[in-house]
Amino acid sequence: MKRIITLLFCLCGFGIINVASQTVTEEDFISNLLKQMTLDEKIGQLAQYTYRGNFTGPDGANIPKEEYVKQGKIGSMLNVTGIKEIHRFQELALQSRLRIPLIFGLDVIHGYRTCFPIPLAEAASFDLAMIEETARYNAMESAADGLNWIFGPMVDISWDARWGRVMEGAGEDPYYGSRVAEARVKGIQGNNLADTATVMACIKHFAGYGAPTAGKEYNSVDMSLGQFANFYMPTYHAAIKAGAATVMSAFNDFNNIPSTANDFLLNRLLKQQWGFKGFVVSDYNSVEELVNHRYAYDKKDAAAKALNAGLDMEMVSTCYLTYLKELIQEGKVKEKTLDNAVRRILEKKQELGLFEDPFRYCNPARSAKILNSPEIRNASLRMAERSIVLLENKQSVLPLTSQVKSVALIGGLSKSQNDMAGAWAATTDRSKIITLYDALLQKGLEVNYADGYDLKSNRMTDLQKTLQAARTSDIVLVAVGERANQSGEKAAKVDISIPEEQQRLVSELKKTGKPVVVLVMCGRPVIFNEIKEKADAVLCTWWLGSEAGNAICNVLWGTYNPSAKLPMTFPAHVGQIPIYYQYKSTGRPTSLKQTYTASYIDYSTEPAYPFGYGLSYTTFGYSDLNVLPGKSPDIHAEVSVKVTNQGQRTGEEIVQLYVQDKVASVTRPIKELKGIQKIQMEPGESKTVTFPITNEALGFYDNEMNYKVEPGEFIFMVGGSSNNLQQITFTLK
């Protein structure tokens, strides 16, 4: 695209081209700029430093940052927030010789000022349109406050709930995780990075960070290329195809080479095979950490290995700043390699429109109008309602009716704005978060509150007072779970059970004879077998953000009929992990009626709740499952099924299509999700849902990462949960 006049103005303004008649393409603009740059100025573009405090790790860059910005030795800052500060730093950048603007990045994981449900909760909605909408609002608020880049979406697939960062992702399934990745990239970036309502996305963490050995944070990742290609690679690939502007390298080593200096991942797969034209930023200090991995002798060796492997921008550590000039002079890094990294970064600054107007994102009036606006809060409420998973509803104790006048509310989490914000809502205005306690009061109910247990020790407190609150109320609501800071980064756990005394308290409350409804608040799948058995109803409410209390009340009283499903298996025992729905048959499947099968002698192989499971206040029937011929060459067939709302209440169903490749040239899972459709139906209404069967539904990667579709028999399965499906066979010629 040629923006001739504007670019010409820039070039003259930047003192790069004096001739007014030349037509200049964006390509030429970057090339001309690159030609003007000294080695120091080029290296400066590859440096990103943090500001004010150790947000996500120690700040090793002991340098005068403002001074270096003025000298053109820094290309980007992270953790600079607010228009005033961003404007100040940009002013400094424009004092440098070539006046190259900075880009400003921040972790906006589930909300900038308005807080949205944590990403894993949003994933439970299986509402891709809603997920794209909330991503768009996150970007809108971020851009309105001066940012041009957010470090998200995190697209790491994980089968291990011990790992705390499952909170940030979309769960265990590569097909669904890919659809969510696409939706979030589209929401964040829109169609034009120069639009002041959009910012750059950053796909993280490349690659395989969600599969750390033993679920231990930052631990090694070791998997076959076949395993990577079929289960972990798809979400990164989908995000790149959706146009993600940047990628962040992962802390972990990937098959014995740290991701931050992994030539196979960064140069060969991402840039050459996938044709990625954006740039790769390291994770926090992860270039210098090549020394800790014992993959680099020292920071100089780390700089050479990372840049030569395709790592374009170094976050926080100073290996590039300190050693790249020497390395180039010694011929250990080619200047062409440096130029390629610089070009990728400058092109994104240009796409953001920062050369034309370095202050385009600094508009206080726009910021005041957009941040925490009613429109954005309403989106947070709608997403929160759609994220709540109804797990148990015995004797249809829910939804509550207007007959309920008094509520025993048990558990300090029900009052905690901090916990409702979730694990990573750095810039959220917590004072504006609606807790369950607030929302119940606003409904005009009599609320008999009791702590029930100590939020720190998790020991039961004042049991008699708690039981008395229950006895004098129509219904008992108990908020149990983790603390919000017990998931997210550096929050891996060996025990993911809800504390024992919280569970025992529910059993004690049940003895009062009152209906007991339990709200499980968590940032990961958690285990609560005693509650599962004793409670009358259980809702997984995750961490729901600014409108948490209103969303929970709307679901409890049926204003919103819960529709969410689990995007990740909930184990029955931590010893089952990694546990996931797409397991393989093995040579001795448990379906064989014999003692020698793939199982445990001391526990079941079944999860507490499977992937794709979630209840509604109505029920849905499936009938007329059929396979029809494909209507075009790339559609081998169409699966159709009729879904009927059998209850008295309007509801939404997430219709799921799973596929089994009966026999293949590599071992394949017993089923894989290959389609979802969320539909709303009135009572008694039926709808026919159709799924196209393309190569993506039938194919797989072999151990050399070649994508294959093999003729033979397939089983198509359709239903409302991975463990409740009807099936039909199909033969691909």
Residues known to be catalytic: 283
Q: In what order do the strands lie in the sheet containing 712-721?
A: 672-681, 651-661, 712-721, 724-732
Nearest approach in angstroms of CB 714 to ligand GLC is 38
Between the alpha carbon of residue 188 and those of residues 203, 239, 427, 628, the distances in Å are 11, 12, 17, 37
Pick between residue 78 and residue 183 the one whose CB is nearest to ligand GLC: 78
Q: Check if the beta carbon of residue 78 is closer than 8 Å to that of residue 106.
A: yes
Pick between residue 490 and residue 588 the one whose CB is nearest to ligand GLC: 490
Nearest approach in angstroms of CB 153 to ligand GLC is 11
> Contact between 204 and ligand GLC (CB under 6 A)?
yes
Q: What are phi and psi of 661, to 5 degrees?
A: -90, 110
- Cα–Cα dist 248/285, whole Å: 12
Region of 49-57, 193-201, 439-447, 614-622 interacting with ligand GLC (CB under 6 A): 49-57
Pick between residue 46 and residue 390 the one whose CB is nearest to ligand GLC: 46
Size of the site for ligand GLC (CB under 6 A): 10
Could you tell me how far CA 605 lies from the centroid of its own chain? 28
> Bridge-partner residues for 107, per DSSP?
none
Segment 481 to 510, residues that bind ligand GLC, using CB under 6 A: 489
Contact code string over 270-299 relative to ligand GLC, x by CB under 6 A? -------------xx---------------
Nearest approach in angstroms of CB 77 to ligand GLC is 12
> Contact between 653 and ligand GLC (CB under 6 A)?
no
Respond yes or no on whether the N-terminal peptide bond of residue 636 is cis (omega within 30° of 0): no
What burial letters (b/e) apply to 579-598, b meaning 16+ CB within 10 Å?
bbbbbeeeeeeeeeeeeeee
Query: Counting Cβ atoms within 10 Å, is residue 723 exposed (0-12), middle (13-18) or buried (19+)?
Result: middle
Pick between residue 282 and residue 618 the one whose CB is nearest to ligand GLC: 282
> Contact between 536 and ligand GLC (CB under 6 A)?
no
Pick between residue 151 and residue 159 the one whose CB is nearest to ligand GLC: 151
Q: What angle do CA 489, 524, 418 make, to 5 degrees?
A: 70
Q: What one-letter code names the amino acid at 300?
A: K
Please tell me the number of Cα atoms within 13 Å of 576 on its side-chain side.
Answer: 26
Nearest approach in angstroms of CB 287 to ligand GLC is 13
Segment 134 to 163, residues that bind ligand GLC, using CB under 6 A: 151
> Contact between 523 and ligand GLC (CB under 6 A)?
no
Provide the 3-class DSSP secondary structure of residue 701.
strand
Pick between residue 281 and residue 537 the one whose CB is nearest to ligand GLC: 281
> Contact between 730 and ligand GLC (CB under 6 A)?
no
Pick between residue 82 and residue 226 the one whose CB is nearest to ligand GLC: 82
Among 16, 26, 28, 55, which residue sits at the site for ligand GLC (rule: CB under 6 A)?
Answer: 55
Q: What are phi and psi of 365, to 5 degrees?
A: -65, -40
Region of 54-62, 344-352, 493-501, 639-647 interacting with ligand GLC (CB under 6 A): 54-62
225: closest CA among 705, 700, 696?
705
Region of 51-59, 581-589, 602-610, 692-700 interacting with ligand GLC (CB under 6 A): 51-59
What are the tokens at 624?
């007329």
Pick between residue 151 and residue 580 the one whose CB is nearest to ligand GLC: 151
Among 48, 56, 114, 722, which residue sits at the site for ligand GLC (rule: CB under 6 A)?
Answer: 56
- Cα–Cα dist 204/270, whole Å: 13
Q: Check if the beta carbon of residue 564 is closer than 8 Å to that of residue 388.
A: yes
Q: Check if the beta carbon of residue 131 is closer than 8 Å to that of residue 386.
A: no
Pick between residue 128 and residue 484 the one whose CB is nearest to ligand GLC: 484
Provide the 3-class DSSP secondary structure of residue 359.
coil
241: closest CA among 263, 267, 264, 270?
270
Q: What angle do CA 433, 436, 501 make, to 5 degrees?
A: 120
User: Residue holding tokens 């914000």?
Assistant: 421
Q: Which residues contact 294 (CB under 8 A, 6 or more apart)?
A: none
What are the tokens at 701?
């990667």
Contact code string over 59-78 relative to ligand GLC, x by CB under 6 A? -------------------x
Nearest approach in angstroms of CB 171 to ligand GLC is 17
Pick between residue 107 and residue 438 the one whose CB is nearest to ligand GLC: 107
Region of 53-61, 299-307, 594-602, 716-724 interacting with ligand GLC (CB under 6 A): 53-61
> Contact between 253 and ligand GLC (CB under 6 A)?
no
Pick between residue 156 and residue 652 the one whose CB is nearest to ligand GLC: 156
Segment 569 to 598, residues that bind ligand GLC, using CB under 6 A: none
Maximum distance among all Cα pairs of the chain, rounded to whole angstroms: 86
Segment 595 to 614, residues that bind ligand GLC, using CB under 6 A: none
Helices within 215-334 (DSSP H only): 225-227, 233-241, 263, 289-292, 299-309, 319-329
Nearest approach in angstroms of CB 259 to ligand GLC is 11
Nearest approach in angstroms of CB 60 to ligand GLC is 13
Going by their DSSP bridges, the two strands 389-393 and 537-540 should be labelled as antiparallel
204: closest CA among 264, 270, 148, 143?
270
Q: Which residues contact 216 (CB under 8 A, 6 or more apart)?
A: 162, 163, 492
Nearest approach in angstroms of CB 211 to ligand GLC is 15
- Cα–Cα dist 224/428, whole Å: 40
> Contact between 107 and ligand GLC (CB under 6 A)?
yes
Pick between residue 75 and residue 607 the one whose CB is nearest to ligand GLC: 75
What are the tokens at 106?
């921040």
Nearest approach in angstroms of CB 537 to ligand GLC is 35
Region of 55-63, 129-137, 229-237, 547-555 interacting with ligand GLC (CB under 6 A): 55-63
Nearest approach in angstroms of CB 284 to ligand GLC is 4
Among 57, 208, 549, 651, which residue sits at the site for ligand GLC (rule: CB under 6 A)?
Answer: 57
> Bridge-partner residues for 628, per DSSP?
638
Q: Check if the beta carbon of residue 312 is closer than 8 Å to that of residue 76.
A: no
Nearest approach in angstroms of CB 218 to ligand GLC is 9
- Cα–Cα dist 137/54, whole Å: 27
Region of 50-58, 89-97, 345-353, 593-601 interacting with ligand GLC (CB under 6 A): 50-58
- Cα–Cα dist 209/254, whole Å: 8
> Bridge-partner residues for 163, per DSSP?
none
Q: Check if the beta carbon of residue 681 is closer than 8 Å to that of residue 644.
A: yes
Nearest approach in angstroms of CB 79 to ligand GLC is 7
Region of 52-60, 402-410, 474-482, 571-579 interacting with ligand GLC (CB under 6 A): 52-60
User: Which residue ranges make up the site for ligand GLC (CB under 6 A)?
Assistant: 55-57, 78, 107, 151, 204, 283-284, 489
